[in-house]
Amino acid sequence: MTKPANPLIDAVLAELTELEKTMGATRRKIAGGERIDLSGLAARTQKFCEKVVAIEPELRIGFSHRMGALATDMDLLKEQLVYEQAKLQAAR
């Protein structure tokens, strides 16, 4: 027997997949020296988190490992940005 569909979980998982792709692509672009546009990322992430919080905790546990990996990716992106900014300032 299959579980009944949960539209909120389906939407969260789809957005999680897109955020994972965005983080990976963004980090690769930075590493390759490309300029990036992060406008809207904070608002998008905030809306995503609000949806996640709306899901019952016992249902969130099923994708908590992916959430942890996304948080790590975001931390790595932040470190990359800080490093690149420091390089730019040192070159001035």
Model confidence over 7-37: pLDDT tens digits? 999 999 999 999 999 999 999 999 898 988 9
**Domain boundaries defined on the chain:** 7-91
Cβ–Cβ under 8 Å, residues 13 and 63: yes
3-state SS class at 54: coil
pTM reported for the whole predicted model: 0.84
pLDDT digits (tens, 9 = 90+) for 34-57: 988 999 998 999 999 999 999 999
pLDDT of residue 7: 92
Calpha distance 34→3 (Å, rounded): 44
Query: What angle, rounded to 10 degrees, do the helices at 41-53 and 7-31 form?
Result: 150
Q: What is the mean pLDDT of residues 77-84?
A: 92
Residue 73 has pLDDT above 90, yes or no: yes
Residue 67 has pLDDT above 70, yes or no: yes
If you ran DSSP here, which 8-state letter would residue 61 be given? G
Structure-token match 């931390």, residue found = 75
